[in-house]
Amino acid sequence: MHFYKFFLIPLFFISSLQSFEEGFIYNDDIKIVYRDYGPKNAEPVLLVQGLGGQLINWPEHIIDFLIENGFRPIVFDNRDSGLSSRVKSDLFTSENKGKTISTTYIKYFLRLPINPPYTLDDMADDSILILDELEIDKTHLLGISMGGMIAQIIAANYPERIKTFTLIASSVSTPSPFNGPRRDVRKLLMQRSNNPEASMDERINRTKRIFKLIGLENNDLDTKEFYDKSVESINRAGPDDSGFSRQLMAILGSKNRINKVKSIEAKTLIIHGKEDPLIKVNNAYKANKHIKNSSLLIYPKMRHLIEEPVFDLFKNDLLLHLKGV
């Protein structure tokens, strides 16, 4: 694969809590937008988002914690999310969008091969180009959910670029009905995949239902903050939500990574919720078994998200891990 890179002259912004620099790179004709919180002389941490996630969806309590402890968070929109490119595919014409994802799920249940428009390996290469553009030789790496799957490939394929690896709520196995989402969660994911052009209110309500299932139990989502963040994410992504389905195809069509993760050299911290309904906790034990230099933290109250009370459970262990203690 040939990579072509172009860089937007950095723009500087001030949010309510911190400044950051935004830019983009190109992987062939795929534009990837990133945000660098700095400072330039701090140790970088590349954070890789999960299915449908955007760079703005990283909680402020995580970004602030990293900055306050001397690190340089770098986040980005995966291809097919946020301000990054939507990938054109003949599979996703207006006539067959729903048929495509339904057929994908049938193949998933029958354990048949799935041919996605791109792979998790392609998404891993997107990440490396960001490091190249920022002239970062070596970084800490943190991935959650699908982002953890992408990060596994980064850590395995580019060991010389990784200081430490943190794997949260993810899986090293090829997805299957035996290690995948609980039925009620899977049903909601299907609804989103089959209706990418839903209205604003429909998308917000759908997000709320998903978060209630995969987030902290009894977490109040009927708040102005949740509504405003949902509106911001939807406006930022635009009306076409079909990228979610293509990312899902990349996950379901991914090859077995067991042999790949066995080659990971970086010191690895694996964090998982005991009650995770999206990626079952047995996936964390399997990751711990196959990543040789890894340690495992399982939390009974954690599900799939990193709300502030959940982050408080493991932030000190994360800091020790990043500091090499």
Of 7, 68, 57, the residue nearest 32 (C-alpha): 7
pLDDT of residue 33 exceeding 70: yes
CB 125 within 8 A of CB 27: yes
Which 8-state DSSP code applies to residue 111? T
Higher pLDDT, 198 or 151: 151
Residue 16 has pLDDT above 70, yes or no: no
Percent residues over pLDDT 70 in the chain: 89
Q: What is the pLDDT of residue 133?
A: 98
Q: What is the pLDDT of residue 3?
A: 35
Q: pTM above the 0.85 mark?
A: yes
Q: Give backbone dihedrals phi and psi of 103, rounded to 5 degrees, phi first.
A: -65, -40
Kindly report, residue by residue over 220-263, the tens digit of the pLDDT: 899 999 999 999 999 998 888 889 989 999 998 888 899 999 99
> For strand 71-76 and strand 30-36, is the pairing parallel, antiparallel, or unpaired?
antiparallel
Pair of tokens at residue 229: 């963040």
Looking only at Cα atoms, what is the longest distance across the chain?
Answer: 55
> Strands 19-27, 11-14: parallel, antiparallel or unpaired by DSSP?
antiparallel
Q: With bands split at pLDDT 50, 70 and 90, how would you rate the model's confidence at 145? A: very high
Mean pLDDT for 187-210 is 81
Mean pLDDT (the chain) is: 88
User: One-letter amino acid identity for 28?
Assistant: D
Average pLDDT over residues 190-205: 78
Per-residue pLDDT tens over the stretch 259-294 = 999 999 999 999 999 999 999 999 999 999 999 999
pLDDT the model gives residue 105? 67
pLDDT the model gives residue 289? 97
All domains of the chain, ordered by start, with CATH? 11-323 (3.40.50.1820)
Q: Is the pLDDT of residue 92 over 80?
A: no
**Predicted local confidence at residue 297, as pLDDT:** 98
Q: Which residues, in sequence order, are bridge partners of residue 118?
A: none
